[in-house]
Structure 1
């Protein structure tokens, strides 16, 4: 067996939804891990303002990301099963849960490969 190095990094595994974001000028396209294109008119568009703000200076970029929901009230990441309903609720302006409302949840995309 190979001995462990003197230092190493441990990364937390989040139970999110894998997505690729392709920015081409002012358009952002979203793809699933199976290369299903979600297009430009999808509930993922709730992330567009944040993606545009964080990629200023880059006209074309591809981000490999994990979508998770951060509950600001309870300070925890929400389970995987709440991702779609949260994005859909944010897209329509509706409340997505009796425990959470739009102000308590935060749509988050953590890019880990660019």
Structure 2
């Protein structure tokens, strides 16, 4: 079992974020006899998933929705699948946007390099 501080360090997030995720019912750590939060390996795996969703711009409301569905159980599998497929489509759109921006920047950089090399 891990403390909130240990999990924050392991996951590279703040204790404030962990408390926020708990408040928003995204994660539910267990409490020890003193009332301190304790996290196990399953919490860490779940947090890795949540962090990836957040890194790929999934809105916190959608993460909360997914977490709620997961807690409800297997009968929500279809809804969770739909949510993840929609997010994957969003990621693909982000990738296309970034690739287009990269191509534009590559072109602009080449123009500047060419201009500078002709000046020298």
Normalised to the residue count of structure 1, the TM-score between the two structures is 0.28
Please state which structure has a larger fraction of its residues in helix.
Answer: 2
